[in-house]
Structure 1
Amino acid sequence: MDRTTWLDGLRGIAAAIVALDHYFMGGVLDVAFRSFWADPPEDNRRFIQLPPIRLLFASHAMVPLFLVISGYAISINLLRARNNSSVSSAAAAAAAASCEGDFVRRLSSAATRRIFRIYLPVVAIASISQLLYFCNLYRWDFGDEVVWGRRPWTAPWLHVTFLTRYILDIMNII
């Protein structure tokens, strides 16, 4: 077993907890995601809300945990490849040059694959969901703080700009 395999498992658990939080947010089963001390007290005094157990449902803590573990687990193999390419003897300089080229190739390959594996599905899902909402095939009443009271069929340009800003925001471009 590789040394980072357990980190991938922990990363998967953190992602599952965040996904469950998003799925049950505001629903019937959201009691585990609220604090034991939240108001009103009669709705928030359950055993599952106590701190040691609630940690399993602490999605706000799981997002940074997921990101930190992902950064480490994804980059550790590339860093190992880079460190293996640094050879100190002069006789192995040609081998080191080919290893450095291999490192750059692996790094660019990983970055390119990540774009197709992560960003394209997000762009597709966001575009499809906006199209379904715009065509009134999907109804979800947002608060005024999200869509400012406009309806999609009266403001199509607002939907296009919202989708563009959303995609740019998740890509950290703006």
Structure 2
Amino acid sequence: MKVILLERIGRTGTIGDEVTVKDGFARNFLLPQGKALRATEANRKKFVAERAYIEQRNEERRDAAAGIAEGLNGRTVVLIRQAGETGQLYGSVAARDLVEALAKDGFTVQRNQVDLAEPIKTVGVHTVALNLHAEVEVSIIVNVARSEDEAARQASGEDVTVHTFEADEGGDFAAGQKDAAADDRFEE
């Protein structure tokens, strides 16, 4: 289906481009969202008449997104979740969770602006992209931890998912080996 784009759409085109897209993409996304018009003679005339307004509206949206992006770029969001000893979350962190966390910090972001291919399912520090506008993209750092203390340790660069023997023994691993060797002598 041929459509006239009313805003920049990824790799498809920019404002005013007349492009051919799959029918489903046009019917289910572009047309209902107001991102394109069918490429008919009447719509071409309508677009030419309203082009200045459409470009002005796009610039206003881009400027608003850029304003939000200044405060968000590189921002760290800490989410406390329950997880097993291996760092596997009992649930997951989805786009909805990130939107709610950013809303608590005073940022308005829509769920469809969070570029999260699949939910986060492990404890750790993750980078997530936010597409605030077709021309404005930022990334945030999501620190998923089991507690505030663990989040601070992860933020300093420590990998809390590494399981060490010192943590189990409560002391020096070499001392534990010496004790085991002494126990073997007494058994004989």
Same fold flag (TM > 0.5): no
Query: TM (normalized to structure 2)?
Result: 0.23
Greater Rg over alpha carbons, structure: 2
Query: TM (normalized to structure 1)?
Result: 0.25
Higher helix proportion, which one?
Answer: 1
